[in-house]
Amino acid sequence: MHARLLLFFLPLAALLSGCGARDDGSIPIAIIDNADEPFARSGSGRAAAAWDDATDEGLVAFDAYGRVIPALADRWIVTDDGTSYIFRLRDGNWPDGTAIDAESARRALSDAIRRQRGSPLGADLGRISEVRAMAGRVLEVRLNQPVPDLLVTLARPELGLLHEGRGAGPMRGSIAGRTGTLSPLNPEARGLPAEIGWEARARDIELTAMSATEAVQAFADGEVRVVLGGTIADFLLTDRTGLSRGALRVDDVDGLFGLAFVHRGGFLASAENRAALAMAVDRQALMEPFGIGNWEARLGMLPREGPTGRLLPLAQWRDMSLVQRRSTASARVAQWRSAHGDIAPIRIALPSGPGGARLFESLARDFAAIGLQTERVGFGAPADLVLLDQVAPSSDVEWYLNRFRCGLARRICIEEVDGLLREARRENPRAARAVLIDEAAALVEAQQIFISFGQPVRWSLVGGGIDGFQTNALGVHPLMEIAMQPR
């Protein structure tokens, strides 16, 4: 629980209202997104992802708890060797009235996978070797290597299936500027059995893209009932009066939250000097101003265990106390300065907003403790370090390594790691492949290309009467789940 929740008071009106909807029955929701065209299909922001998730079903989807549930596929099996997922599609139609069959779904999924080429998600999908249409409504996804969390990946909004440019639900809607209105499709329209009382449970969603400041204010004023898409950049905006008790929800997610070295020259050219910066950071003090209870600091970028089941090697400095770490780091800075002269200020790219400012204050103090000056820059400006803040779908080491592939992140990659991952993709024996990934993980650790802080921060604001929202380990909050009242 967030430490400041004890300061929030629930107004009497909120206690009495309970329904969480407008007079017309719709639920007003704000999503934090500053893009000029937040709902553009080519967009990569939070609003576009939420809209696509609601209107473009994939083979599977997420429920309110982040669990995988049927979507266009009503059931599936996985072969014993884990290299084939066979889906049976539900009986239904695409928006133009044509039947959803294996061939049309194959084309749609292949197109969705193709659109992700050159992205980290595309790298995650790299173990898919073929998508095959089988008889009638049966579709097979073949893999060249097992992917235990394939269903979690297929449930992502980027892998929603389109037919003639449109998705099959579970909602339909229209967009006007920065606001979109979504209506749930009834079960019959989705090829599912009719449900008694379904219409009484379904509510429309009015989704508006706002800045974080606007969204929090709109929630405090009762203009919206839910705020989605919060990150560390805007978390401190929730520290205000007027927010109801229990409104703030923080997802217990995992992933990458820290600084990547995008420039590795001068003092930062050696792994031991890059490690000096990681050693200087007091992670608990860094996050203390945010007051997030149970937040977990992480000294390393990767999960502790590799695919072979062995513990991954750790840098020796991780066993030191903060005082010892800073003493060692200070000596490295002094030695380099004595041999090479002054060290330019370390340029750190952080998000705008109060969260970014507070992170910089702490980091500047930490780096000053070992003799380094700092400069804050915006995203896109020349930098030495840039904040990475991404939620992981699982503890798969390869997911973490894919974020540092050279074809995707040239400035922060390691060529040798790419080579090991390519070789692992070609290996058929699972044990041999696991050893190669372990080697790649050990190399990343040795090269110190990332300063890990700990868990990413994902937060929402939720008013009374919203039953379809649950915090979860993936930080996913499907609008269809929020729209439906419980039975």
Count of Cβ atoms closer than 10 Å to residue 227 Cβ: 29
Stated pTM of the model: 0.90
Give the architecture (CATH level 2) of 255-452. Roll (3.10)
Phi–psi pair at 37, nearest 5 degrees: -120, 80
How far apart CA 230 and CA 238 sit, in angstroms, is 10
Residue with tokens 């929701």: 29
Q: What is the pLDDT along the chain (487 residues), one digit of tens a residue?
A: 344 433 333 333 333 333 455 556 899 999 999 999 999 876 679 999 999 999 999 999 999 999 999 999 999 999 998 999 999 999 999 999 999 999 999 999 999 999 999 888 998 998 899 999 998 999 999 998 888 889 999 999 999 999 999 999 899 999 999 999 999 999 999 988 999 999 999 999 999 999 999 999 999 999 999 999 999 999 999 987 567 778 999 999 999 999 999 988 999 999 999 999 999 999 999 999 999 988 999 888 887 665 655 666 677 888 899 999 999 999 999 999 999 999 999 999 999 989 999 999 999 999 999 999 999 999 889 999 999 999 999 888 888 888 887 865 566 777 888 888 888 877 666 677 778 888 888 888 888 989 999 999 999 999 988 999 999 999 999 999 999 998 8
Q: What is the pLDDT of residue 255?
A: 95
With CA atoms as reference, report the closest residue to 463 among 22, 45, 64: 22
Q: Is 215 left (phi over 0), alpha (psi -120 to 50) or beta?
A: alpha
Burial of 342 per CB tally in 10 Å (0-12, 13-18, 19+): exposed
What is the sign, positive or negative, of the torsion defined by CA atoms of 363, 364, 367, 368? Answer: negative
Ordered DSSP codes for 157-174 = GGG---BTTB--BSEEEE
Task: Tell me the two tokens of residue 418.
Answer: 């790419």
Residue with tokens 């929020």: 482
Please give the C-alpha separations between residue 35 and each of 45, 55, 231, in angstroms, as whole numbers.
Answer: 7, 20, 16
What is the sign, positive or negative, of the torsion defined by CA atoms of 363, 365, 368, 369? Answer: negative
Q: What angle do CA 319, 320, 323 make, to 5 degrees?
A: 160
Q: What is the pLDDT of residue 303?
A: 77
Give me the half-sphere count of Cα atoms (radius 13 Å) on the Cβ side of residue 83: 10
Q: What is the pLDDT of residue 410?
A: 60
Q: What is the pLDDT of residue 440?
A: 86
How far apart CA 15 and CA 93 sit, in angstroms, is 43
Phi–psi pair at 135, nearest 5 degrees: -65, 135
Q: What is the pLDDT of residue 416?
A: 83
How far apart CA 413 and CA 407 sit, in angstroms, is 8
Task: Tell me the two tokens of residue 266.
Answer: 């001068």
CB 307 within 8 A of CB 297: no
Domain with CATH 3.40.190.10 in the chain: 1-56+169-252+457-487
Q: What is the pLDDT of residue 147?
A: 86
Q: What is the pLDDT of residue 42?
A: 66
Question: Which strand (E) or helix (H) includes residue 461?
Answer: strand 458-462
CB 173 within 8 A of CB 180: yes
Domain with CATH 3.10.105.10 in the chain: 255-452
Give the architecture (CATH level 2) of 1-56+169-252+457-487. 3-Layer(aba) Sandwich (3.40)
CB 281 within 8 A of CB 44: no
